[in-house]
Amino acid sequence: MADVNVAPSLLDDSIRKSKILVVGAGGIGCELLKNLVLSGFNDILVIDLDTIDVSNLNRQFLFQKEHVGKSKAVIARESALGFNPNVTIVAKHDSVMNSEYNVTFFKQFTVVMNALDNRAARSHVNRMCLAANVPLIESGTAGYLGQVTAIRKGLSECYDCNPKAGQKSFPGCTIRNTPSEPIHCIVWAKHLFNQLFGEADPDEDVSPDTADPEAAGDAGSVALQNQASEAGNVTRVSTRAWAQQSEYDPSKLFGKFFCDDIKYLLSMDKLWTKRTPPTPLSWDNIPEEISDQQGGLIKDQKVWSPAECVQAMVSSIKILYQRSKELNGEESFLVWDKDDEASMDFVTACSNLRSHVFSIPKKSRFDVKAMAGNIIPAIATTNAVIAGLIVFEAFKILEGKWEECRHVYLNSKPNALNKVIAPSSLDSANPKCYVCSPHPEVTVLLNVSQMTVQSFEDKVLRGALHMISPDVMVDDGKGTVLISSEEGETTENMSKSLSDFNISDGTRLRCEDFHQEYDLNITIIDREHLEENREFTVIADPSQLQPKAAVESSGPQPSTSSSKPAPSTRATESVEIDEDLDVIFQKGTANDDHQQEPSIRKRSISGQADIGSASKKLRLSENDIIEL
């Protein structure tokens, strides 16, 4: 195809001389790469760690069936060169968070364009662009909704200026003991898959929770007595070891999870004083429940009867068990995949059997796949519109017209001006942002006696605050090194609690990330108990910190992030975000903000153009809330 240049003539020189980094070669990335090539950009680097899956082919049009399993970045490059072979495109099949992509690497680019699908990578690229002082264009889509925004140090808010909501989670005792919604049963079934075939996690134990606070007292005592040996002890074996002893006999697995465990739960009589008790299933008497209302539906949209669930469970167990026996090496476990037929059949069957036991509506295989994989439908047209808007914002940046840059929202329906594309002025940086403010600070509430240094690094620094290579010193006048990014330097600290280093209420920690060129001061607030049994709470604005005495009777804490607690009876079960998503999407209304975490500010994508600060924006509509 001949060279095509749709840019205004005044931009020609800037476009030809620019060097563009595209992070992500998925739904938005494919459309964006095509647009850049057709707009006259000559020097492009695209990076993506992902490989092409069959499910990508309906919206990522640079890929074909023969490309399945290959690098997205490499194939996207090859396909884009078909539009203009004279363009220089470098493809990297790698993670942008690797250490080789440091600040010096980012400084070589004129503009960085994010087409990512996860929060950690977005936050990392945001910090690297701030450190390198390179403009960043952030974007995201969810179904018919989308948004684009330009970010520049000192001129606009950054990606982290408005903390994002944490992942949806459920109390562990709800998942194990008292499910009330289909999603509870689906999460339980995914955990069961991991217990039997995957990488087992103590937090994902599917056995009844005997320490459930609602079942206090003599709950389960009869069942425990029945399990006791002559020595008076209860012999415990892992779920997988028990299954292996029976060679994954489907009837025995069914008997344990849908009969014996349910009878055990019924012995916890206090759980059922205000709930409908579950009904155990018998292997020899499985109801058919054939419905006459599913005629004409395709296979995956039909809701299976309990008997059909048992058939699917039996066949999937045989396949998965055979696969597990063929595994060798250290990682001798299966990984659940929504696109794997046996894995999906297992989770669909087991979740629906559990739903039947607890009188919860069952779901079709199609619905279970969407819920288990956290899938929000991706629409090719939305990706194409957003990719075009990214290039328009890039034109403004190259012309030096930052005052004309906008947040641009793509709505699912026309706004008050009868438009589906609604621009709004860029907001100024949050002066209390823990990333781009002159003196970044956060407050972390946790139990210093229970939180280990390892958990603090993994869950708080890397997980919630998205650091890559943190170094942490205690501000105690002695320069005590708590965590070092140098391998092996502080290994002996990892298993110790924070209190072992005299960290207490009010202690300050100085954190640095050499890779991100990011410094952060953390104030530790010691709390024996936190709202909703969280292991920690991060507060970006200290003015939102509640007095310690008021915590027990207060409402939701103004947190920016929290992580899943260590193994305990009240551990929360997090629902992970599927990697196919381009953006985190939540429904709500303008009046919902007080019910959410107060520090989370959601932007309307249904209102008319903004002429000033966020306070001048129109009221949110019910279904049009999106977060980058």
Written as six digits, the tokens of 128 are 């690297």
Q: Which residue reads 């039997």 in tokens? A: 196
CA triplet 114, 628, 156: central angle to 5 degrees?
A: 80
End-to-end alpha-carbon separation of the chain, Å? 35
Find out whether 112 and 126 touch, Cβ atoms under 8 Å. no
Q: What is the largest CA-CA distance in the chain?
A: 89
Distance between CA atoms of residues 470 and 486, nearest Å: 10
DSSP 481: E
Cα–Cα dist 157/151, whole Å: 6
Q: Among 104, 124, 109, which Cα is nearest to 49's?
A: 124
Q: 43-47 and 88-92 as β-strands: parallel, antiparallel, unpaired?
A: parallel
- Of 205, 190, 196, the C-alpha closest to 323 is 196
CB atoms within 10 A of CB 620: 20
Q: What does the alpha-carbon distance between residue 339 and residue 322 come to, in Å, rounded to a whole number?
A: 18
Q: Among residues 551, 468, 552, which one has the least CA distance to residue 513?
A: 468
Tokens 């998965």 found at: 320
Residue 573's nearest CA partner among 530, 532, 528, 537 is 532
- Look at residues 397, 407, 392 and name the one whose alpha carbon lies nearest to residue 614: 407
At 443, list the tokens: 């407050």
Q: What type of residue sits at position 507? A: T
Alpha helices of 326-379 — where are they, by DSSP H?
Answer: 341-357, 365-372
Question: Are residues 420 and 410 in contact, defined by beta-carbon separation less than 8 angstroms?
Answer: yes
Closest among 261, 256, 265 to 313, alpha carbons compared = 256
DSSP state of 580: T
Select which of 30, 129, 158, 173 is catalytic.
173
b/e 318-333 (16+ beta carbons within 10 angstroms → b)? eebbeebeeeeeeeee
CB 255 within 8 A of CB 264: no
Tokens linked to 83: 């539009």
Q: Distance (Å, rounded) from C-alpha 27 to C-alpha 345? A: 27
Q: Is 540 exposed, middle or buried (CB count within 10 Å of its CB: 0-12, 13-18, 19+)?
A: buried
Both tokens of residue 500?
A: 């072992």
Pairwise CA distance, residues 167 & 119, whole Å: 11
433 labelled catalytic? no
Q: Which residues are catalytic?
A: 173
